[in-house]
Amino acid sequence: MRNREVYLFEDETMGVAATRIVNLDFSNPVVALDFHCRGKRTDEDQAQKQYLMSEGVTKIAIVDGSDVLFSMDMREAMGLQRYANNEVPKMLIDVVTNGMQDAHVKIRFGRDDSDQEWMLDPRKFVNPQVKITYNMPVGALGYVAGQQTMTLKATVCENAISDPVGFLMSKHIYQWAKGTTGDETIDMPRDFLYRLLMLRVYDGVFSTHSEFSRWKLSCDIDRFVPFEIAGDDLGFKERERYGLGSQVSGSMGDAPRQNWIWHPFGLSQGMAMFGCGSGLGLYNRGSSPWRNLPSLPNDASIENNRYTEWNCFGYEFNNCLPYPFGNLVDAQEFFDPTSYKSVRLMITQANHGDGLDSGVVLQQVRPY
């Protein structure tokens, strides 16, 4: 086999809000798609939640008419790359006036770039298209008009040994406003093998695993239960399997010697400041998802809007938490729902954030 990379569009200027549509009219199977967006911030406000590039891409979809082959927002897609492929998506967080932000995600249709068994074959569909929907506000707390760009690149397999037998189909399948008690019951699809299940909750004040106290997958009203696990234990499994993540984040020092430091982790493990006007370094242990307010020393070098850079550490990337079905390389270990009359996911909501935007993503193996 031989892979080649093809730009579907490159450094294309983004408007404020639009949906970009491009055809996947290749005669060879597609191994993966790479999407990258970049923008320049207008300003920063220490008291407000900063708008990151990945938040502005509200949907990445691959469709063939009404047949949905992939669909989720960019933050979910980046979380899926982290947990389905054990890769860390590239992200630049620079929350300052005229600071550059970017976000990158790789959408794989197989286990890796050399997987010839699972690839997206456009020849199996009528008119496969990629649709990217975004909303990038300009002005205060947003971006400089006309400074946002995006790039989409495909990795295509030439001279494959044989035609692929299927591909990894990944979708956002359910969304709700989280409560503080009771179970959220979700009817799950029963068509194809489950490879990975992922839950996410946005903009909470507690870690992702603590927002949901128990996960349970039930078949035919508990005739068979593939898994039932406490939220804390699932958090432990994520830390053991995927390890500690890190992200560099830039911010401005405020007059009272405080910085809101923005990061992509649902469970923060602290941060170290390694860049400052005086070369000062310190470590702060934090616990808040997506941002921290560290305790800074009484040092005038951080006052008066001095730029600082931080290395942030944490787990639960993009506020997502996965449940992998066995060894993600071996399809024999995946869960097969096809023989059951009903499959339900029951999420017990913990007494923390109320009304939070929560969702479920499912990755399956879809045969041709």
76 falls within a domain: yes
364 falls within a domain: yes
Name the domain boundary from 144, 164, 184.
Answer: 164
Q: What is the CATH number of the domain that holds 64?
A: 2.70.9.20
Name the domain boundary from 124, 144, 164.
Answer: 164
* 127/29 same-domain check: yes
331 falls within a domain: no
198 falls within a domain: yes
* 120/49 same-domain check: yes
**Contact present, 242 and 234 (Cβ < 8 Å):** no
pLDDT tens-digit series, residues 8-42: 999 999 999 999 999 999 999 999 999 999 998 87
Name the domain boundary from 115, 137, 164.
Answer: 164
Mean pLDDT of 248-269: 74
Instruction: Please give the share of the chain, as a percent, with pLDDT higher than 70.
Output: 86
The pLDDT, as a whole number, for residue 137 is 83
* 101/187 same-domain check: no
* 186/41 same-domain check: no
Query: How far apart are alpha carbons 123 and 167 in whole angstroms?
Result: 13
Q: How many other C-beta atoms can be found within 10 angstroms of the C-beta atom of residue 226? A: 17
At residue 281, does pLDDT exceed 90?
Answer: no
Read off the tokens for 228. Answer: 């039932």
| pLDDT, greater one: 181 or 97 | 181
Q: What is the CATH number of the domain that holds 201?
A: 2.60.120.730
* 148/218 same-domain check: no
Sheet of 343-349, strand order: 183-187, 343-349, 212-219, 224-230
pLDDT tens-digit series, residues 58-75: 999 999 999 999 999 999
Which amino acid makes up residue 318?
N
Tell me the whole-structure pTM to 2 decimals: 0.93
* 207/349 same-domain check: yes
Query: How far apart are alpha carbons 117 and 107 in whole angstroms?
Result: 16
31 falls within a domain: yes
Q: Which domain holds residue 224?
A: 173-326+336-368
* 153/184 same-domain check: no
Most confident of 201-210, 277-286, 352-361: 352-361
- For the chain, what is the domain count? 2
The pLDDT, as a whole number, for residue 270 is 77
* 132/194 same-domain check: no
Instruction: Map 114-163 to HEC letters.
Output: CCCCECECHHHCCCEEEEEEEECCECCCCECCCCCEEEEEEEEEECCCCC
Tell the residue number behind the tokens 């040092």, with chain if given. 299
Mean pLDDT of 186-211: 93
At residue 302, does pLDDT exceed 60?
Answer: no
Mean pLDDT of 288-299: 58
CA proximity to 203, closest of 55, 83, 80: 55
The pLDDT, as a whole number, for residue 129 is 98
* 97/201 same-domain check: no
Helix (H) / strand (E) containing 206: none
At residue 303, does pLDDT exceed 60?
Answer: no
At residue 344, does pLDDT exceed 90?
Answer: yes
* 238/142 same-domain check: no
pLDDT tens-digit series, residues 92-124: 988 777 888 899 999 999 999 999 999 999 999
Mean pLDDT of 179-184: 92
The pLDDT, as a whole number, for residue 154 is 98
pLDDT tens-digit series, residues 217-228: 999 999 999 999
**Contact present, 85 and 108 (Cβ < 8 Å):** yes
Give the confidence band of 135 by pLDDT, cuts at 50, 70, 90: very high
* 159/185 same-domain check: no
The pLDDT, as a whole number, for residue 271 is 77
The pLDDT, as a whole number, for residue 262 is 81
Give the confidence band of 152 by pLDDT, cuts at 50, 70, 90: very high
7 falls within a domain: yes
* 257/344 same-domain check: yes
**Interacting residues of 199 by C-beta distance below 8 A, sequence separation 6+:** 208, 212, 215, 320, 321, 323, 347, 358, 359, 360, 361
33 falls within a domain: yes
